[in-house]
Chains A and B, each alone.
Chain A
Amino acid sequence: MKLLEFLKRERKKSASVAKERLQIIVAHQRSQRGQPDYMPMLERELLEVIRRYVHVDDDAIQISLDSEDNCSVLELNVTLPKS
């Protein structure tokens, strides 16, 4: 029975896996396009500071820089664990 299931299970085509992975990584790359070079460093250091007070995961912090006409807004979202 198990053998039958194994044979029947359709293997996901590798090209569609490639496409999904690419769509994710390219979207991520594009979100960083045009950002100043210091952003990854800023993100790391902010995370360090927060960690002095509360333990958060690496992906608990989201940082983005939006530019409008004559000012830029740095948006920082930190998800804190339930205490």
Chain B
Amino acid sequence: MAKIIVVTSGKGGVGKTTSAAAISTGLALRGKKTVVIDFDVGLRNLDLIMGCERRVVYDLVNVIQGEAGLNQALIRDKRVENLFILPASQTRDKDALTQEGVAEVLDKLKQDFDFILCDSPAGIERGAQLAMYFADEAIVVTNPEVSSVRDSDRILGLLASKTRRAEESSDPIKEHLLVTRYNPERVTSGDMLTLDDIREILAINLLGLIPESEAVLRASNQGVPVTHDISSDAGQAYSDTVSRLLGEDMPLRFHEMQRKGLISRMFGGGRR
């Protein structure tokens, strides 16, 4: 039975789509049949981050409104076997998504896939609520920054009340914290919330920590999820995150300041 995981945050620009792309790629690389769905109707971007923007023909709204079959809308990833993308519609308004329609699409996907990742839009409106409604687990993406942490707490409130599991009083959604754009140097100098601060305030299980990294922009420029850049810190951090999601015990990395060696100091070795 497929697991439905929503990638959400409340605040925009914290790395939801980057994380959804990187984690779904990581899952597929481990042999899990994975589909990642863009719920940001009107402002789709997952296709761009996944590098398949020119192959979009049909989208989620077409499928829900019966204008295309699910298999026509699913885009097979070029790089990894077992990975599929279901893009959002670019032109229609947000009301095009219905709860029944989303339920139907997810039920069909459940029969074929091991993991269904829902990339939520920012905010707490309809699109975001639909992305989380049917979830079994939630990855709450948070930056070490006040507005992001506050919004994440709001999202935790919604996960606990406005979802199917909450309404049916079944087992609650399993919540995971994913801290992104973490900068250990700034934490050390006292100008950035520490990982422990964020964990203390949000009080949910930590799934992963992604350092602020040049590799992330490089990856989105190229349309190649950063998980493929295995020499980069962010790529490795996402890979660790996927391992934890699959239940493996991985030690935390990239949360402490690295001492620069003489050579990297001389040549200004930046982040990989």
Chain B 135-171 interface 0/1 with A at a Cβ cutoff of 8 Å (1 = within): 0000000000110011001100100110000000000
Chain B 239-253 interface 0/1 with A at a Cβ cutoff of 8 Å (1 = within): 000000000000000
Contact of A16 among B150, B154, B190 (CB under 8 A): B190
Interchain nearest-CB distance for A40 vs B (Å): 15
A33 at the interface (CB under 8 A from B): yes
A25–B150 CB distance below 8 A = yes
B194 at the interface (CB under 8 A from A): yes
Contact of A22 among B146, B187, B191 (CB under 8 A): B146
8 A Cβ contacts from B182-219 to A: 187, 190-194, 197, 201-202
B193–A19 CB distance below 8 A = yes
A15–B150 CB distance below 8 A = no
Q: How many residue pairs between the two chains, A and B, have CB atoms under 8 Å in the bound complex?
A: 45
A26 at the interface (CB under 8 A from B): yes
Contact of A13 among B149, B160, B191, B201 (CB under 8 A): B191
Instruction: Please give, as numbers and ranges, the residues of chain B lying within 8 Å of A34 by CB-CB distance.
Output: 157, 160-161
Instruction: Please give, as numbers and ranges, the residues of chain B lying within 8 Å of A23 by CB-CB distance.
Output: 201
B190–A26 CB distance below 8 A = no
> Considering the chains assembled together, what is the distance between the CA atoms of A21 and B149 in angstroms?
11
A14 at the interface (CB under 8 A from B): yes
B193–A30 CB distance below 8 A = no
B149–A22 CB distance below 8 A = yes
Given A21-B146, A23-B201, decide whether A33 and B160 contact each other with a Cβ distance below 8 A: yes
Interchain nearest-CB distance for B96 vs A (Å): 26
A29–B157 CB distance below 8 A = yes
8 A Cβ contacts from A1-50 to B: 13-16, 18-19, 21-23, 25-26, 29-30, 33-34
8 A Cβ contacts from B70-97 to A: none
Interchain nearest-CB distance for B153 vs A (Å): 5
A26–B191 CB distance below 8 A = no
Query: Taking CB as reference atom, which chain B residue is nearest A25?
Result: B150
Given A22-B201, A33-B161, decide whether A15 and B149 contact each other with a Cβ distance below 8 A: no
Closest 3 CB pairs of A and B: A13-B190, A33-B157, A19-B197
Q: What are 19 A-B interface contacts by the 8 Å CB criterion? A: A14-B190, A14-B191, A15-B192, A16-B190, A18-B146, A18-B193, A19-B193, A19-B201, A22-B146, A22-B149, A22-B150, A22-B193, A26-B202, A29-B157, A30-B157, A33-B157, A33-B160, A34-B157, A34-B161
Binding site for A on B (CB under 8 A): 145-146, 149-150, 153-154, 157, 160-161, 187, 190-194, 197, 201-202
